[in-house]
Each structure stands twice: as structure tokens, then as C-alpha cells.
Amino acid sequence: MPVNKRHFFRNALAVAAVATLSLVAQAQDKVIKIGVTAGPHAQLMEQVKKVAERDGLKLQVVEFSDYVQPNAALVSGDLDANSYQHKPYLDAQIKDRGYKLVSVAPTVNFPIGLYSKKVKRLEDLKSGAKFGIPNDPTNGGRVLLLLQDKGLIKLKPNVGLKATPLDVVENPKKLRFVELDAAQLARSLDDLDASAINTNFAIAAGMSPKKDAITLERADNPYVNIIVVREADKAQPWVAKLVKAYHSDEIRQFIDKEFKGSVAAGF
């Protein structure tokens, strides 16, 4: 091979090697944007961020104030993952909006609570009481099932997690259901006789589910929260690192110490 050709191929190989190393460096330096709702999910992810960094994974935690935007932002590419919802909610979003999203790991369970500033017991609610429930189908149905479990209402047979106020067939106290965005329920408690409030929003509003809730959902429920990514990304190496960090003993200990039973590890 002529000398000039040998030099050409050496230079080409060197350039290719540098380009490959550059791509590897860029992949390692990629910052993973993960969406959470304010409150416990944000607190938890800030701890996960510290654990993940020790394994070479850089996270940027992005907070949202509602349940709709984190999935929309993930689908649009503004996020790489999110951690704030349970599987029934994700399934409903996929069915309704055609999102190509997938759960990659369980995180924590937030038993939903019923709260009131006017009564201490559910049985003390007056006829016609205004009762706040989340306006998204899965969490609204979840609350109605809890009310049925507590004997306040009766739903159509086999309606399951998709129950709505239209499925109530017995309502002895004539409860008037006020459907609001889940994030608004804690702030609306003064205007209601009672309300269901998701635990993450209750804690963010300064309430202790263990102390302040009239009653709490059973811990053995199907509403364990999850980490969600785009289907196309589920096999990415950073996903495994993120799950490993979240499922660490350090995070489990943080959950037990910080939330004192109001939040349970689901892994």
C-alpha cells in the first residue's frame, strides 16, 4: 500500500475512534429529565438523584402541579421519564390518548384518605353533604370504591375501577359529589363537607394522613405508583440505573423515616 494511502487510513481510523469516544462521553453526560408532582414524589426523586449520581446517572427533577402534564411532556420529548402515577391511571391515559408509554418499575403506594374540617367521622356527615372527589376517571372511581367499602354508597355490580357518580345506585346520605382536579381538592376543603385527597397532595398541603384523615384506603390496593418511560426507551441502560437507584435500601429507609407509614414502598 502506498505511504499516502496508509496515512489516509490511519487518519480515518483516528477520526473514527475520537468520534466514538465523543459519543460515549455524550451518552454518559446525558442528563435524564424526570417529571414528578410536588410533594412526596419530588422529595423521593431528589433522594434518588443522589443515589443515581453515584452510579454515573445524572437526573434533573422537574415538578408539575397536576396529573395531566407529566405524561404529555414525556410523550412530546420534554421529559425522559416520569414518576407520579399508578398503573390504572396510566392505562386510562394510554387508552384515551394513544400514548406509547410503558411502566418499568413500581415505586410507592399512597393510600388515599378522606378528610373533613366539619366532621370527625364519616357517619356524622349530614344528608346532602358536599363530597369532593378527583375528576380523573381512575382516582374518582377509586374514591367511590372506598366510599362503598365504608358503607356510604352502593355502586352498580362489577363496575370496578371505572366507577363514576352515575354508577351510584344507593346513596342514603344523598351525598353531592363535587368533581375537581386532584390537585385542587386540598385547597377546596373549606368549601366542602368532606373530600378525598390523594396522599401526595395532602402531605404537600401540610396534612398528615395518619393523623388528619377520617379514614384511609387499605394499603393492599392496586394503586402502587410507577416509573414510566416511552416504549422506545425501555431498554436504554439509563432506565436500569434509574430503577436500581430507586429500589435501593437507601431509598426504602428514607421512605420509612420521612413518611412514617403514610407512604409505603411498593418494591
The answer to whether residues 180 and 207 belong to one domain is yes
For residue 3, is it within any domain?
A: no
pLDDT in tens, 173-206: 999 999 999 999 999 999 999 999 999 999 989 9
Query: Looking at the predicted structure, is the pLDDT value of residue 246 above 80?
Result: yes
CA distance 199 to 202: 5
93 and 133 assigned to the same domain: no
β-pairing, 215-216 vs 113-115, is: antiparallel
Query: What confidence score (pLDDT) does residue 11 get?
Result: 57
Instruction: Using the predicted structure, report yes or no on whether residue 24 has a pLDDT greater than 50.
Output: no
Last residue of a domain, one of 182, 200, 216: 216
Contact 64, 200 (CB under 8 A): no
Which residues span the domain enclosing 243?
8-110+223-265
Provide the percentage of residues in the chain whose pLDDT is more than 90: 81
- Say if 1 falls within a structural domain: no
Query: Is the domain of 132 the same as that of 199?
Result: yes
Q: What is the pTM of this model?
A: 0.79
- Assess whether 18 and 98 both reside in one domain: yes
**What is the total count of domains within the chain?**
2
Q: Is the same domain home to 106 and 227? A: yes
More confident residue, 10 or 171: 171
Torsion of CA 11, 13, 19, 21, to 10 degrees: -120
Give me the CATH number covering residue 41: 3.40.190.10
Kindly state whether residues 198 and 238 are assigned to the same domain: no
- Residues 101 and 231 placed together within one structural domain of the fold: yes
